[in-house]
Structure 1
Amino acid sequence: MAPEQYSHGHHSSVVGAHAQRTAADSAAYLLPYLESGMTLLDVGCGPGSITADLANLVDPGPVTGLDQSEDVVALARKLAAARGLVNTEFLAGNVYDLDFPDATFDVVHAHQVLQHLADPVAALREMRRVTRPGGIVAVRDADFHGMSWYPEFPELTAWMDTYQRIARGNAAEPDAGRRLVAWILEAGFTEFEPSASNWLYATPERRSSFGEGWADRVLHSAFAAQALDRELADEAGLARMAEGWRRWSQTADGWFLLPSGEVIAWA
């Protein structure tokens, strides 16, 4: 199965935001299960910031980062080299057809990946295939309709509606967080531990970074291209959304809660 169209794309506003993520803020549910010497596969590794953190935690165990974008894989390799990591490799690949033998890894991790797939259950089955018996598959995904914000600017409501339509037009599921247990069960797992955690943007620094980042995405990333191509918004509408994000980012009382579901499942 070929990779689907990625709703976010790889504009610098997207990749830059992903590069700020850490294992502590994005994979805390997984960290208690990691041990030195484990073999780990990070599916959808992006620019590699989470992967690098995980590599430090399982060192000297080998860690492989996988992403469908060759350009993003190149960024991950540069990050690993800058951090002096010697137990990592980064490859371009397809989650539906992982180029590894059965039972290769102790841990297979995917952060914010399943929400972008037309067949997340098939991806989970493939991830399970390359996990050794008794090993862990760990997944975490946002739930877009679970997001809440204040003040309730109409421009952000329009953004949410447009994003939902873009993602669903790509046969993806933006409300993935609430569906993880259902997908895990359908993929054949019988032992698993669900949880949830949030990202909160409510300080001036975090509001500014998040709001300005989304304003940039709305105007320049794959969000803009897909919205215009599919006539989900016009340029004036996108400009209003971007300005709404900027106004929200500058409010003294602004709040944006972004929830994610997460599951540890044993192969």
Structure 2
Amino acid sequence: MTETLGSLHYAFVHGVLGASRLEVLTRLSWPSSYNFLVSQGVREGMSCLEAGCGAGSITRHLKDFLGSDGGVTGFDMDEETIELARKKFSDTSGVSFQVLDLEEDGVSFDQQFDVVYCRHLLEHLADPETSIRKLSRYLKPGGLFIAQTIDCEGQYCWPDNDAYQKSAELLARIIDVRGGHSDCGQWLPSMLRKQKFLHINIEVENLVYLEGEGKQFVPLTMETLRKGLLEEGLLEKDEFRQLLSDLRQFCNQPDSVVSLPRFVHCAGRKPC
């Protein structure tokens, strides 16, 4: 059965494997995410709506940042993933989770928040601008909308390697084939401007690795794409096995250098 995001298809697997990948991604990118949040005025005591929270890999950091007087409400469309999050935070006050599909009409909250945070969600949506508009309803006047998304055109490696280049192309391809936008980061500021956000800021980073789990994140990402790639006919099983083997071999070379896609951080304030 294909995993859906509303009427769309999510590129990555959900469940334990998908959550494990997001935990690694959080360890790699939270320092820069934290710095961006601080630079935009997020502070202790604020309330945050976390859209597309997954199993809560970033939620813990957000709650620690916002402190005992702050709170995080997370939602995701996958019930299994939300159950993982609820178990993880069963003893934590000030954190709650809901199963909601942003692309359906049933999204509703009984409060407005100081911050709406979307991390690696918008690139998977057919109409991210409409989703931003929906989410902005739950921002307080003067509240912050902050998003982190990707630009798949920003990947590179050294030396040139066919398996790496193929994996980068497939990442972009599966996101696009399944209704998303692998270049979403390029036009995120424009979307915020169209929604009348003020004081729009953007930062772009390219994480590059010579060793460690950052380097191994590249084959891990391919593992979580396996199901979707096979379902969409972008690879056959034997082709996938060979690609993953070649990719691991390249990433295990001590002198090889790999990057992740560009990460685009963008923020704007809702008019008062």
TM-score by length of 1: 0.88
Look up the equivalent residue of 2:47 and give its one-letter code: T
**In 1, Cα distance between equivalents of 2:50 and 2:81:** 14
**What secondary structure, in the 3-state scheme, does the structure 2 residue paired with 1:172 have?**
coil
**What secondary structure, in the 3-state scheme, does the structure 1 residue paired with 2:268 have?**
strand
What is residue 208 of structure 2 aligned with on the other side? 200
Unpaired runs of at least 5, structure 2: none
Deviation at 1:266, TM superposition (A): 0.3
Number of residue pairs aligned between Structure 1 and Structure 2: 258
What is residue 260 of structure 1 aligned with on the other side? 263
Q: Is the 8 A contact 1:201 1:210 kept in 2?
A: no
Deviation at 1:75, TM superposition (A): 1.4
2:230 corresponds to which of 228, 231, 235 = 228
Identity %: 24
**In 2, Cα distance between equivalents of 1:186 and 1:160:** 30
**What secondary structure, in the 3-state scheme, does the structure 2 residue paired with 1:57 have?**
helix
- Closer, same or farther in 2 for the Cα pair 1:214/1:151, shift >3 Å? farther
2:248 corresponds to which of 246, 250, 257 = 246
- Closer, same or farther in 2 for the Cα pair 1:4/1:139, shift >3 Å? same
Q: Is the 8 A contact 1:26 1:111 kept in 2?
A: no
Deviation at 1:213, TM superposition (A): 1.4
Q: Is the 8 A contact 2:136 2:145 kept in 1?
A: yes
Look up the equivalent residue of 2:244 and give its one-letter code: A
**What secondary structure, in the 3-state scheme, does the structure 2 residue paired with 1:168 have?**
helix
What is residue 58 of structure 2 aligned with on the other side? 50
Q: Is the 8 A contact 1:118 1:171 kept in 2?
A: yes
Unpaired runs of at least 5, structure 1: none
Q: Is the 8 A contact 1:52 1:85 kept in 2?
A: no
Look up the equivalent residue of 2:98 and give its one-letter code: L
What is residue 96 of structure 2 aligned with on the other side? 89
Deviations, residues 101-149 of structure 1 (Å, cap 9, x unaligned): 4x61000000011000000000111111110110000001111111111
Q: Is the 8 A contact 1:202 1:256 kept in 2?
A: yes
**In 2, Cα distance between equivalents of 1:192 and 1:132:** 17
What is residue 81 of structure 2 aligned with on the other side? 72
Deviation at 1:242, TM superposition (A): 0.3
What is residue 187 of structure 1 aligned with on the other side? 195
**In 2, Cα distance between equivalents of 1:261 and 1:233:** 29
Deviation at 1:212, TM superposition (A): 4.2
Deviation at 1:240, TM superposition (A): 2.1
TM-score by length of 2: 0.87
What is residue 108 of structure 2 aligned with on the other side? 99
> Once superposed, what is the RMSD of the aligned Cα atoms?
2.1
**What secondary structure, in the 3-state scheme, does the structure 2 residue paired with 1:49 have?**
coil
Deviation at 1:227, TM superposition (A): 2.4
Pairing 1:159–2:167 present = yes
Pairing 1:18–2:25 present = no
Deviation at 1:11, TM superposition (A): 5.1
